[in-house]
Amino acid sequence: MVGFPSTSWGVLTSGGTLVALTGLVAARNTRRPAEWEKGVVYMTSESHHSIPKVLNNPYCRGTGLNFTC
């Protein structure tokens, strides 16, 4: 589709919000639920605007993730 070799794999998304959600869930799923409260997301003024939106998503709330700018 985009000219990558047939051995390539991955996920193509339509925008930043889905990318941010996918990354957050993938990172979170590398840890046990008991460790989710220790999670921290660091952002700068250059971070994509979708990241706070994803962190405030009902699916992510209550997981104990903290974020700071």
Q: Domain range holding 56?
A: 16-28+41-68
Please determine, for residue 59, whether its predicted confidence score (pLDDT) is greater than 80.
no
Domain assignment present for 35 = no
Q: How confident is the model at residue 25 (pLDDT cuts 50, 70, 90)?
A: confident
For residue 39, report the phi and psi dihedrals to the nearest 5 degrees.
-65, 140
Q: What is the mean pLDDT of residues 10-34?
A: 85
Residue 48 lies in a domain: yes
Which residues, including other chains, have CB under 8 Å from residue 40's CB and lie 6 or more apart? 65, 66, 67, 68
Number of domains in the chain: 1
The reply to whether 7 falls in a domain is no
Residue 41 DSSP label: E
Over residues 16-35, the mean pLDDT reads 85
